[in-house]
């Protein structure tokens, strides 16, 4: 099966490595700087489940030609629509398109593609990529769940489950992929917002005084939005997530730190903006999440961030609260 993977970061690299080990014919669509890393040195994935190093095919958008049997979009959430649009030429009538990205907009409102066979995946993994492009995977096992929102492509999804399973990557079919994606999205949004509000990487913020309580408040807002949109969290998985994120302070797949800004900040603003817009669509207000979104968009413009828990942050929150009430003529749920 001819496979095109959009992106060769931590997620795309892991999936590509397992496909190649299983005999797949894989081409990575990457930027020129990533291509310069891959072509001379190949793809290197360091993992406790076995080291992977192989030469790989890597092309840029201008070098892309022909159609593929499988297109996997493994990009950042705020780039997935653009990426799929740019690769429309690689999608034929029978092409399978699989998205593996954070967020929910691409699932709720799929990008129009030539191929009708659209599936989505949710990945739980602890992955990193260093400046030289070397990928690292840490325990526990990475878990990939695949499905489609209409449950029309179960045989296709099951075939992908078999194709992608490999060392350190367990795969399974999910008939409720929308709910699974929202659960992941809710925890990710809360984690990103916590990192912004506390001015700390996610794990450090959880260990900081007041961090777990703030995380749970943010998570409550995200879950209320999900429930209004029809995605009620599974109690068993919710307890497992809560234990991993809060009680153990040992996330299964920690959200990115947005303390550095840059592309991570862009993605944080995108993810939180999508969450807030969904809340407004269903008349669920999210004051705590919106404060984090306002802060990260302000940072992008060079505005000095207030100290976490400071009077300045409190005043920023109060001003925002009253401005939004006056503008919309509605009342936000009271911040705890």
| Residue 162: per-residue pLDDT | 93
| Residue 199: per-residue pLDDT | 83
Asked whether the beta carbons of 187 and 225 are under 8 A apart, the reply is no
pLDDT in tens, 6-30: 999 999 999 999 999 999 999 999 9
Asked whether the beta carbons of 148 and 118 are under 8 A apart, the reply is yes
| Residue 171: per-residue pLDDT | 95
| Residue 106: per-residue pLDDT | 82
113 pLDDT more than 70: no
| Residue 24: per-residue pLDDT | 93
Arithmetic mean of pLDDT, 183-201 = 87
- The domain 2-175: what is its CATH number? 3.40.50.720
Tokens of 316: 């920023």
The residues facing 59 across adjacent strands are 29
| Residue 246: per-residue pLDDT | 58
Arithmetic mean of pLDDT, 228-245 = 75
Alpha carbons 271 and 118: distance in angstroms, whole number: 22
| Residue 111: per-residue pLDDT | 59
| Residue 116: per-residue pLDDT | 57
Question: Is-same-fold flag (2-175; 179-328)?
Answer: no
Tokens of 292: 């984090």
| Residue 261: per-residue pLDDT | 38
| Residue 332: per-residue pLDDT | 35
pLDDT in tens, 117-150: 889 999 988 888 999 999 999 887 789 999 998 8
pTM: 0.81
Domain positions in the chain: 2-175, 179-328
4 pLDDT more than 90: yes
pLDDT in tens, 56-67: 999 999 999 999
Asked whether the beta carbons of 258 and 195 are under 8 A apart, the reply is yes
| Residue 145: per-residue pLDDT | 94
pLDDT in tens, 282-325: 999 899 999 999 888 876 555 444 454 544 444 445 545 444 44
Domain 179-328 adopts which CATH fold?
1.10.1040
167 pLDDT more than 80: yes
Asked whether the beta carbons of 82 and 31 are under 8 A apart, the reply is no
More confident position, 79 or 280: 280
pLDDT in tens, 73-87: 998 888 888 888 878
More confident position, 330 or 182: 182
| Residue 265: per-residue pLDDT | 72
pLDDT in tens, 238-278: 776 666 665 544 443 344 433 333 345 778 888 899 999 99
List phi, psi (to 5°) of 134. -80, 130
| Residue 241: per-residue pLDDT | 67
More confident position, 157 or 330: 157
More confident position, 249 or 32: 32
């Amino acid at each position: 099966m001819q496979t095109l993977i959009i992106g060769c970061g931590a997620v795309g690299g892991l999936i590509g490595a397992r496909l190649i080990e299983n005999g797949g014919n894989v081409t990575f669509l990457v930027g020129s700087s990533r291509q310069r890393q891959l072509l001379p040195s190949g793809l290197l994935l360091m993992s406790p489940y076995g080291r992977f190093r192989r030469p790989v095919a890597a092309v840029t958008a201008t070098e892309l030609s022909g159609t593929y049997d499988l297109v996997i979009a493994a990009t950042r959430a705020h780039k997935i629509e653009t990426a799929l649009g740019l690769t429309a030429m690689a999608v034929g009538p029978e092409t399978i398109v699989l998205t593996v990205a954070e967020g929910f907009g691409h699932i709720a409102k799929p990008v129009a593609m030539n191929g009708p066979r659209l599936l989505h995946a949710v990945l739980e993994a602890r992955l990193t990529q260093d400046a030289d492009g070397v990928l690292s995977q840490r325990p526990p096992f990475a878990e990939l769940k695949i499905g489609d929102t209409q449950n029309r492509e179960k045989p296709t999804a099951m075939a992908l489950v078999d194709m992608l399973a490999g060392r350190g990557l367990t795969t399974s079919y999910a008939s409720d992929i929308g709910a699974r994606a929202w659960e992941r999205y809710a925890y990710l949004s809360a984690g990103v917002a916590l990192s912004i509000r506390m001015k700390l990487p996610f794990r450090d913020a959880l260990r900081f005084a007041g961090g777990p309580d703030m995380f749970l408040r943010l998570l409550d807002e995200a879950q209320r939005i999900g429930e209004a949109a029809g995605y009620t969290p599974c109690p068993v998985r919710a307890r497992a997530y809560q234990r991993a994120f809060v009680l153990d302070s040992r996330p299964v797949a920690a959200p990115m730190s947005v303390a550095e800004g840059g592309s991570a900040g862009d993605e944080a603003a995108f993810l939180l903006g999508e969450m807030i817009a969904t809340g407004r669509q269903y008349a669920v207000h999210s004051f705590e999440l919106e404060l984090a979104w306002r802060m990260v968009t302000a940072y992008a413009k060079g505005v000095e961030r207030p100290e976490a828990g400071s009077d300045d942050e409190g005043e920023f929150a109060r001003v925002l609260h009253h401005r939004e009430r006056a503008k919309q003529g509605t009342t936000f749920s009271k911040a705890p």
